[in-house]
Amino acid sequence: MSTSVNKEIWIPAIEDNFYTEWERVKTIAKDDSIYVDAKQVHIPNAGSVGTLLKNNSSYPVSAEERTDTINTYDVDSYQMPPIRIGRFDSKDLTYDKTLSVVKDQTGNIGERIKYDAYINWYIGKESGKHVETSGTGTSTSSAPGSNATVKDITIADVINAKGILDKQKIPQTGRILLLPVDMFHQLHADLIDDGNTIFMTESDGFSVLDKPFAGFKVVMDTEVVNTTSTGTVRAYGHSGAAGDLQAGLAYHKDQVSIAKKNIFVEFAKGPGMFGETVEAESWAGSKYRREDKKGVVPILQKVD
């Protein structure tokens, strides 16, 4: 009697673990997977627009050449280490049980890819391109390891972020305000205090406000970006420090990039395994789409 692994269960379970979060992030970002070349993503950036002539009377008109640039970033490897499947284990595993085993083994790779994307969209604390919270209310930052007392986010802070995007001539439709939990609830409370009737709901797997504010779809996630006290981004999973801060991102969804390659799943039999092993690997990456970093405005907590 054959006891081969049921690939019809294992492969979809692995793909779901890698890509369920990916499908959510695609709703708030630009999927540039078509631009993946080997292990790099090449995003075309249009050069300057040619000179428009009005009531021209001088001929011939000189030809102008537009010089486009390419914004490039690497895709990272995400690997699911080999999982041993005993000869008779596969018979007893349903899809849900298999997915649970995969998640236990990988620590939810899809979630890691998502949070790496948020980190890679962060443009840094650049002059004139970021906003700091300014509320009279204060709280303790929820950044890992932090005990910093910070100002709450306010309606005015969001309006300031909108103003930066407006001056950058970023389209109004398609703007996202992505906030970590505390900042999301602070803004929601400020909107209610200001007389707005606005509620939390769900959209594409995210908690959101049920109506746009200042032209933004307001989206919450457990965390977005964690930084040092000076605004330098922390890597995913960093334990942090006492003065660390959180940041949200105000941006246009077409100005932040995600990209992935296909997932590779391999099953193997080997001596001493008394069964089979399954392992998987995929590649994914992310970055802001424009070299000039326009279209993304970090909103950073400010120490009180």
Asked if residues 207 and 200 have their Cβ atoms less than 8 Å apart, the reply is: yes
Q: Is residue 52 part of a domain?
A: no
Do residues 195 and 271 share a domain? Answer: no
Q: Is residue 2 part of a domain?
A: no
- What's the pLDDT score for residue 84? 82
Shared-domain flag, residues 129 and 274 = no
How much is the pLDDT for 136?
A: 95
Is the confidence at residue 2, as pLDDT, over 70?
no
Q: CA–CA separation, 249 vs 259, rounded Å?
A: 19
Q: How far, in Å, CA of 234 to CA of 224, rounded? A: 11
Instruction: Take residue 165 and report the two structure tokens written for it.
Output: 């995007």
Residue 55: inside a domain: no
> Which tokens hold the place of 230?
């000076």
CATH number at residue 96: 3.30.2400
Task: Classify residue 54: in a domain, yes or no.
Answer: no
Do 261 and 238 lie in one domain? The reply is no
Q: Please, are residues 142 and 220 in contact by the beta-carbon 8 Å criterion?
A: no
Flag the least confident range among 23-32, 39-48, 134-143. Answer: 39-48
99 and 175 together in one domain: no
The residue whose two tokens read 């011939």 is: 60
Answer yes or no: is pLDDT of 17 > 80: no
* Residue 65: half-sphere exposure toward Cβ, Cα within 13 Å: 2
Asked if residue 13 is part of any domain, the answer here is yes
Determine the longest span between alpha carbons in the chain, in angstroms: 88
> Looking at the structure, do residues 19 and 75 belong to the same domain, yes or no?
yes
Q: Which domain holds residue 37?
A: 7-46+66-120+257-288
pLDDT confidence of residue 66:
67
Residue 220's pLDDT band, with cuts at 50, 70 and 90, is: very high
Taking 50 as the threshold, does the pLDDT of residue 1 lie above it? Answer: no
Residues 143 and 207 placed together within one structural domain of the fold: yes
Q: Are residues 77 and 185 in the same domain?
A: no
Q: Into how many domains does the chain fold?
A: 2
pLDDT in tens, 175-193: 999 999 999 999 999 999 9
Q: Which amino acid is at 10?
A: W
pLDDT at 55 over 80: no
- The verdict on 130 and 250 lying in the same domain is yes
Decide if 197 is inside a domain.
yes
In the prediction, which pLDDT does 106 show? 65
For residues 192 and 216, membership in a common domain is answered with yes
Q: How many residues does the chain have?
A: 304
- pLDDT, the chain, mean: 89
Tell me the pLDDT band of 91, cut-offs 50, 70 and 90: low
Residue 268 lies in a domain: yes
pLDDT tens per residue across span 226-241:
999 999 999 999 999 9
**pLDDT value at residue 40:** 92
In a domain, 51, yes or no: no
Asked if 20 and 114 sit in the same domain, the reply is yes
- Could you tell me the pLDDT band of residue 89, with boundaries at 50, 70 and 90? low
Q: What is the pLDDT of residue 83?
A: 81
Check residue 272 and give left, alpha or beta (phi > 0: left; psi -120 to 50: alpha). Answer: left
| Out of 52-61, 121-130, 175-184, 277-286, least confident range | 52-61
Please compute the mean of the pLDDT values over residues 55-70 and round it to a whole number.
78
Please indicate, yes or no, whether residues 11 and 38 belong to a single structural domain of this protein.
Answer: yes
pLDDT for 100 beyond 60: yes
**Angle formed by the axes of helices 109-121 and 7-25, to 10°?**
20
User: Within this chain, do residues 111 and 172 fall inside the same structural domain, yes or no?
Assistant: no
Encode pLDDT of 102-126 as tens digits. 777 666 788 899 999 999 999 999 9
pTM of the shown model: 0.87
Report how far residue 302's alpha carbon sits from residue 186's, in angstroms, rounded to the nearest whole number: 14
